[in-house]
A and B are shown apart, each in its own frame.
Chain A
Amino acid sequence: MNGNETTAAVAVKACGVERRFSHMRVLRGLDLELERGRTLSIFGSNGAGKTTFLNILAGLLRPDRGSVELFGETLPGSAELRRRIGVVGHEAFVYGDMSAYENLEYYSRLYKVEKTGRVEAILDEVGLRAAAKRPARTYSRGMLQRLALARAVLHEPELLLLDEPFTGLDPVGARLLSTLIGGLHEQGVTIILTVHDFERGLEVADDVVVLHRGRVGWRSAQELPDTAQMSEIYESTVGA
């Protein structure tokens, strides 16, 4: 494999990433590499730096030290690089006074989605077609999370960042979200998600990382552990 093939095969490459907020060092030299098409679950206690790392990948924060490359391009990247990324955050990023259809129509124009019928297709995919004309403020937490996922994948990103996507979902909603993430994985989308629930995180992942005090404390080998093993690994890594 030559150098170009290596670059093309790597979706995310973070080297020595440091980030502090006033006096608090949140990321302390984080190194991570992820191949294209893989799904990575990041576990870690509150304050371990999961969301900060995702925000850096999304281009919302700049690292104080170190570098991050996405698809071979160093951050902060171009507008074209931002088009290749989809983000689901703690909030849905939708306007309550607009319907799901209008929200997606707006984002499709923002991302210059030219495919005809893409909004309708994605509404079908996430099961919101019937409620598409209702204002988003009338949606339940589960429906909002599906709308958030629809918004994030509307422009068919190559890298999808999900920050605790299962939080607040009932078991049915969580299962549906797992299925949707699985479908995107099959389409070759590189996915990074932060998650607290080992079962959900392991269910969708190819790789697992435990972040501890701003660094990678543990990374899975080829075989993923089961939930019980993961719990032991987590406890020994974070010292809980």
Chain B
Amino acid sequence: MFALIWKDLILEARRRETVTSLFILGVLILLVFNFAIDIQSDNVAELAPGLLWASIVFSAMLGLSRTFLVERENGCMTALLIAPLDRGSLYIAKFSVNLLLMLVFEAMLLPIFILFFDLPVAGKLLNLIVVIFAGSIGLSSIGTLFALAALGTRARELMLPLIVLPLQVPLLIAAVKATSMVLDGASLGELGIWGTMLAAFGILFATVGWLTFEFISVD
């Protein structure tokens, strides 16, 4: 499993395709929103979370659709499937790489987001990072699970969002609500049902992915 993560990170470090394209798309979305919506200090906490997660989820979709593209080169996916590797481990490795790349992208995007919308994050930044991290686990776990299924279809770039976005709705609602509460000054303990949903979604889909990847990857 660690060999797979090491290989994916080496290839990303050399190609810099995923993080670069995620970052460019993320910034573009924020830029459009910044000019399209009149954000003032009194409505920033209401609007900013939605804009942030819209930017993250659309960019993440681009990255997730590339999850197994690297394995298509020279038939490497076949080599992975015939390797003496538990398919669950294959899922966990790909999920980990996706999560790591998404976190790198978010670390680059967050300062720009704060700057664009002039967000008052003093004393709230750590909680905001925790919420983004929890939301990213959910996005990666479900995206990785269906990225392989979408790879086998002709219009995989279209299929992945079609399958994944409806399933991500509860997660996105929880992420937006939790982000909004954090920007309003709530602590993590005060997030209630939204915090629980965020955490549960990630754990649930990571477990489902680990257990069912065997069946998705055969034939």
- Which of chain A's residues has its CB closest to B72's CB? A91
Which one of B4, B11, B14, B219 contacts A110 once the chains associate, using CB atoms below 8 Å? B4
Taking the closest CB of chain B, its distance from the CB of A21, in whole angstroms, is 10
Taking the closest CB of chain A, its distance from the CB of B17, in whole angstroms, is 10
C-beta contact mask, B1-22 vs A, less than 8 Å → 1, else 0?
Answer: 0111011001100110000000
Number of interface residues of B (CB under 8 A): 24
A90 and B81 CA atoms in complex are apart in Å by 15
A215 within 8 A of B: no
Count chain B CB atoms within 10 A of each CB in A90, A92, A97 and give the residue with the most: A97
A95 and B77 CA atoms in complex are apart in Å by 11
A126 within 8 A of B: no
Which one of A76, A87, A95 contacts B74 once the chains associate, using CB atoms below 8 Å? A95
A102 within 8 A of B: yes
Residues of chain B lying within 8 A (CB to CB) of residue A82: 82-84
B7 touches A95 (CB 8 A): yes
A95 touches B78 (CB 8 A): no
B78 touches A85 (CB 8 A): no
Known: A58-B82, A106-B6. A93 touches B218 (CB 8 A): no
- How many A-B residue contacts, CB cutoff 8 Å? 72
B15 touches A97 (CB 8 A): yes
> Majority SS of interface residues in chain B?
helix
Residues of chain B lying within 8 A (CB to CB) of residue A83: 84
Taking the closest CB of chain B, its distance from the CB of A103, in whole angstroms, is 9
A80 within 8 A of B: yes
B70 touches A95 (CB 8 A): yes
Which one of B15, B86, B219 contacts A79 once the chains associate, using CB atoms below 8 Å? B86
B85 within 8 A of A: yes
Which one of A61, A85, A91, A95 contacts B11 once the chains associate, using CB atoms below 8 Å? A95
C-beta contact mask, A35-75 vs B, less than 8 Å → 1, else 0?
Answer: 00000000000000000000000111110000000000000
- Which of chain A's residues has its CB closest to B76's CB? A93
Residues of chain B lying within 8 A (CB to CB) of residue A198: none
Which one of A61, A91, A94, A151 contacts B219 once the chains associate, using CB atoms below 8 Å? A61
Count chain A CB atoms within 10 A of each CB in B10, B78, B86, B219 and give the residue with the most: B78
B73 within 8 A of A: yes
B75 within 8 A of A: yes
Known: A93-B78, A106-B6, A110-B3. A98 touches B83 (CB 8 A): no
A87 touches B82 (CB 8 A): yes
Report which B residues bind A (CB closer than 8 A): 2-4, 6-7, 10-11, 14-15, 70, 73-76, 78-79, 81-86, 218-219
The 5 residue pairs across chains A and B that have the minimum distance between CB atoms: A91-B75, A109-B3, A93-B79, A83-B84, A79-B84
Report which A residues bind B (CB closer than 8 A): 58-62, 76, 79-80, 82-83, 85, 87, 89-98, 102, 106-107, 109-112, 136, 144, 151
